[in-house]
């Protein structure tokens, strides 16, 4: 066991094993949903081992290096190949199913977070390790992608409908060379607070448009002009009795407001409702 722990000492979340091109899952050849399941034989569920491009560690680094007496498993995801043009979208977190792995970007390999496999540490101890992330920023981005995959709030359908025009506006105007485009690019984050709760019969909505501290106005136009424009896209309706918003620098937001609100994280319009 000491040898296993010693072998795992250097492994971190995001590290990859490019030589390990296999991945196990359970499928049924009678109702195959994957090529591997279709290829397999048998009458009933099968433990299927299929070829992948490699494996990436998704367990927390502290669990990986913790003694195998306490923690004997490691979770891994398969590395899959994506088209070059989509790689930057994954890097920018536009595709929550995948996580960008800096060390395999040149191979166009990313982590497929839809699939997770558990292996015993004794197996990992025999793998060739390639460091996945070389900086704290890269490691944080990888961890954030893992967290987002599991943590995204499923906003109620009626809120998704309410926010649709605002979402459309944000997507349309963000890249534009206009005062609104610049204003949108100067936003650090958009959060939304639902009181008393998302599932209440009557809900007060408050949008926090959190701006960078050094952006006060655009070509003489104050943030209030943009706020007015954005709030007109989300008129109070249905359960949402009031819909308000404020443009606020991060330093002026209270910790309570931050923890009582959720990041506005929505699926692309074509995916929602």
Residue list 20-79, contact with other proteins (CB under 8 A): 22, 26, 29, 34-36, 39-53
Burial class (CB in 10 A: 0-12, 13-18, 19+), 140: exposed
DSSP 178-224: SHHHHHHHTEEEEEEEEES-TTSSSEEEEEEEEEPTT--EETTEEHH
Task: Choose the stretch contacting other proteins; rule: CB under 8 A; options: 4-12, 65-73, 123-131, 140-148.
Answer: 140-148
Interface residue with other proteins among 8, 57, 245, 261 (CB under 8 A) is 245
Task: Answer yes or no whether residue 170 interacts with other proteins by CB under 8 A.
Answer: yes
Task: Answer yes or no whether residue 167 interacts with other proteins by CB under 8 A.
Answer: yes
Task: Answer yes or no whether residue 223 interacts with other proteins by CB under 8 A.
Answer: yes
What is the distance between the alpha carbons of residues 4 and 6, in angstroms, rounded to a whole number? Answer: 5
CB of 125 to other proteins, least distance (A): 22
Task: Choose the stretch contacting other proteins; rule: CB under 8 A; options: 1-9, 59-67, 69-77, 139-147.
Answer: 139-147
CB of 255 to other proteins, least distance (A): 11
Q: Between the CA of residue 98 and those of 92, 107, 135, 189, what are the distances in Å?
A: 11, 15, 20, 22
What is the distance between the alpha carbons of residues 68 and 62, in angstroms, rounded to a whole number? Answer: 12
Interface residue with other proteins among 94, 176, 202, 232 (CB under 8 A) is 94
Task: Choose the stretch contacting other proteins; rule: CB under 8 A; options: 10-18, 99-107, 125-133, 262-270.
Answer: 262-270
Phi, psi angles (nearest 5°) of residue 77: -120, 155
CB of 11 to other proteins, least distance (A): 21
Q: Sign of the CA dihedral 25, 29, 35, 39?
A: positive
CB 121 within 8 A of CB 4: yes
Interface residue with other proteins among 96, 107, 156, 229 (CB under 8 A) is 96
Task: Answer yes or no whether residue 232 interacts with other proteins by CB under 8 A.
Answer: no
Task: Choose the stretch contacting other proteins; rule: CB under 8 A; options: 12-20, 61-69, 122-130, 132-140.
Answer: 132-140
CB 112 within 8 A of CB 98: yes
């Amino acid at each position: 066991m000491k040898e296993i722990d010693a072998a795992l000492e250097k492994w971190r979340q995001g590290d990859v094993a490019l030589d390990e091109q296999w991945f196990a899952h359970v499928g049924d050849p009678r109702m195959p949903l994957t090529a591997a399941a279709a290829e397999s034989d048998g009458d009933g569920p099968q433990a299927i081992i299929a070829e992948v491009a490699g494996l990436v560690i998704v367990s927390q680094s502290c669990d990986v290096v913790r003694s195998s007496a306490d923690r004997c498993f490691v979770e891994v995801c398969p590395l899959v190949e994506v088209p070059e043009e989509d790689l930057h979208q994954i890097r920018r977190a536009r595709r929550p199913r995948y996580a960008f792995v800096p060390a395999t970007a040149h191979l166009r390999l990313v982590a497929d977070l839809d699939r997770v496999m558990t292996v015993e540490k004794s197996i990992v101890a025999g793998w060739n390790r390639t460091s996945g992330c070389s900086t704290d920023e890269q490691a944080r981005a990888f961890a954030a992608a893992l967290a987002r995959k599991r943590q995204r709030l499923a906003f109620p359908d009626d809120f998704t409908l309410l926010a649709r025009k605002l979402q459309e506006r944000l997507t349309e105007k963000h890249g534009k060379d206009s005062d609104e485009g610049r204003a949108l690019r100067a936003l650090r984050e958009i959060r939304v607070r639902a009181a008393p709760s998302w599932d209440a019969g009557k809900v007060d909505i408050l949008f926090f448009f959190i701006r960078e501290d050094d952006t006060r106005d655009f070509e003489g136009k104050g943030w209030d002009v943009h706020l007015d424009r954005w709030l007109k896209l989300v008129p109070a309706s249905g359960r949402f009795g009031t819909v308000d918003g404020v443009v606020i620098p991060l330093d002026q937001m209270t910790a309570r407001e931050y923890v009582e609100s959720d990041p506005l994280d929505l699926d692309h319009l074509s995916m929602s409702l």
